[in-house]
Amino acid sequence: MPQCEHCGNQYDKTLEITYDGTTHTFDCFECAIAQIAPECAKCGVKIIGHGMEASGQFFCCRNCAETAGVRGLQDRV
């Protein structure tokens, strides 16, 4: 039975997610988010939506980007 690489749970309905060229196995989205979702460079929240990227940094929203000194990004509404 497949095993979640984040929590170690063995589960017959695991998810396989390919991210950055590597395939990962998880038992739920919660474990996938905890392990591979990027974190906001300003506030540290896990980004599970579109987020924003500037100069190789990820941000959860325009406000965090601006307070980190990044200008010109627009939230996707």
pLDDT tier at 53, thresholds 50, 70, 90: very high
3-class DSSP state of 68: coil
pLDDT tier at 72, thresholds 50, 70, 90: confident
pLDDT tier at 25, thresholds 50, 70, 90: very high
pLDDT tier at 74, thresholds 50, 70, 90: confident
In this predicted structure, what is the pLDDT of residue 50?
86
Q: Of 8, 20, 55, 58, which is closest to residue 38 (Cα–Cα)?
A: 58
- Domain ranges in the chain are 1-36, 38-77
For every residue of the chain, DSSP letters joined together read: --B-TTT--B-TT-EEEEETTEEEEESSHHHHHHHHS-B-TTT--B--S--EEETTEEESSHHHHHHTT--S-----
In this predicted structure, what is the pLDDT of residue 34?
96
Cα 23 from chain centroid (whole Å): 15
